[in-house]
């Protein structure tokens, strides 16, 4: 058993999400798995960490080569807890997902799925986020396995450059087969918000966040372009937010 890789699986759609269940199944073919997920849906929680309350993980399953924990934390908390408390050694790989919905382009900044991946990467652990471009709870994951295995095996065998992790987005199932995998850049797109205004029974105004996604980035080589053409997009991602080309130009003296 010691030669099997140790894989930490997490997500941001909560412990009951079909996407998590599918990813656990796939990863158990490749290694020993510890799954750590949240009781609550953590979609949109980004890189939030829990510092106002303590974390209470509960062991739900403890089998040969498989353990499953549920927590009251965020995806980032789950990676931290896994690495520092719940796993008996540093995992060889952290995978997150399969997210119900795209994390391509600007979605990465709101994504708990990708926050878990970035958190592992900060700690020097190879990490991959998988997302399916289908928001529905009953999304069809039947076409994803071969691609996830191909990408994961490559990362397990070859590792990733220091400080780099992967944001993998998979087109939703269609009659046309997936064309392949494209390594690309994050598209410059954004959400055009439309808050829906309502009144509560006491006359107070409240708002539901809504909106539509707008891709204004017409360049080739973006993740949105690859997905639109029925390719899987792989964006190599890093956590240095510096706009380096500006460092030498700006002056406040």
Region 200-219 residues binding a copy of itself, contact defined as CB under 8 A: 200, 204-209
Q: Which is nearer to a copy of itself, 2 or 240 (by Cβ)?
A: 240
Between CA 234 and CA 147 the distance in angstroms is: 11
| Closer residue to a copy of itself, CB minimum distance, 1 or 151 | 151
What residues contact residue 203 under an 8 Å CB cut-off, 6+ apart? none
Rounded distance, CA 115 to CA 11, Å? 10
Task: Work out whether 122 is an interface residue with a copy of itself (CB under 8 A).
Answer: yes
- Footprint (CB under 8 A) of a copy of itself, residues 143-172: 150-151, 154, 161, 163-164, 167
Among 64, 89, 157, 244, binds a copy of itself (CB under 8 A): 244
Q: State the minimum distance, in angstroms, from the CB of residue 193 to a copy of itself.
A: 5
| Cα atoms in the Cβ-side hemisphere of radius 13 Å centred on 74 | 22
84 binds a copy of itself (CB under 8 A): yes
Interacting residue with a copy of itself among 37, 38, 43, 102 (CB under 8 A): 43
User: Could you tell me which residues come within 8 angstroms of residue 2 by beta carbon, excluding any fewer than 6 positions away?
Assistant: none
When asked if residue 103 is in the footprint of a copy of itself (CB under 8 A), the reply is no
Q: In this complex, which beta carbon is closest to a copy of itself, that of residue 167 or of residue 169?
A: 167
Q: Which stretch binds a copy of itself (CB under 8 A): 18-26, 29-37, 94-102, 115-123?
A: 115-123
Are the C-beta atoms of 44 and 13 separated by less than 8 Å?
no
Total of chain residues touching a copy of itself, rule CB under 8 A:
76
| Choices 29-37, 91-99, 128-136, 187-195 (CB under 8 A): range interacting with a copy of itself | 187-195
C-beta closer to a copy of itself: residue 98 or 106: 106
How far apart CA 120 and CA 129 sit, in angstroms, is 11
The answer to whether 181 touches 147, Cβ cutoff 8 Å, is yes
Site string for a copy of itself, 52-71 (x = CB under 8 A): x-xxxx--------------
Shortest CB 188 distance to a copy of itself, Å = 7
- What would the two tokens of residue 120 be? 């592992």
The nearest distance, CB 209 to a copy of itself, in angstroms, is 6
Backbone torsions φ then ψ of 88, nearest 5 degrees: -85, -10
User: Which candidate, 236, 23, 21, places its Cα nearest to that of 121?
Assistant: 236
Residue 178 touches a copy of itself, criterion: CB under 8 A: no
For the four alpha carbons of 181, 183, 186 and 188, in that order, the dihedral sign comes to negative
Structure tokens at 9: 């699986």
């Amino acid at each position: 058993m010691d030669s099997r890789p140790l894989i930490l699986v997490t997500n941001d759609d909560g412990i009951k999400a079909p996407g998590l269940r599918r990813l656990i199944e796939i990863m158990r073919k490749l290694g020993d798995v510890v799954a750590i997920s949240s009781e609550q849906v953590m979609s949109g929680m980004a890189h939030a960490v829990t510092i106002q309350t303590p974390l209470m993980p509960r062991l739900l399953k403890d089998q040969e080569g498989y353990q499953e924990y549920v927590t009251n934390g965020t995806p980032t908390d789950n990676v931290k807890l896994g690495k520092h408390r719940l796993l008996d050694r540093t995992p060889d790989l952290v995978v997150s997902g399969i997210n119900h919905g795209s994390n391509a382009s600007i979605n990465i900044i709101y994504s708990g799925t990708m926050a878990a991946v970035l958190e592992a990467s900060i700690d020097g652990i190879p990490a991959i986020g998988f997302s399916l471009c289908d928001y529905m709870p009953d999304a069809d994951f039947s076409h994803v396995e071969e691609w996830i295995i191909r990408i994961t095996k490559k990362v397990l065998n070859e590792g990733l450059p220091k400080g780099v992790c992967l944001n993998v987005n998979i087109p939703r199932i269609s009659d046309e087969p997936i064309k392949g995998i494209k390594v690309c850049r994050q598209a410059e797109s954004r959400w055009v918000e439309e808050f829906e205004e309502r009144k509560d029974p006491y006359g107070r105004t409240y708002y539901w966040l809504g909106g539509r996604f707008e891709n204004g980035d017409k360049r080739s080589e973006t993740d949105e372009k690859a997905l639109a053409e029925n390719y899987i997009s792989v964006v190599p991602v890093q956590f240095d937010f510096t706009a380096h080309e500006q460092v030498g130009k700006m002056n406040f003296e």
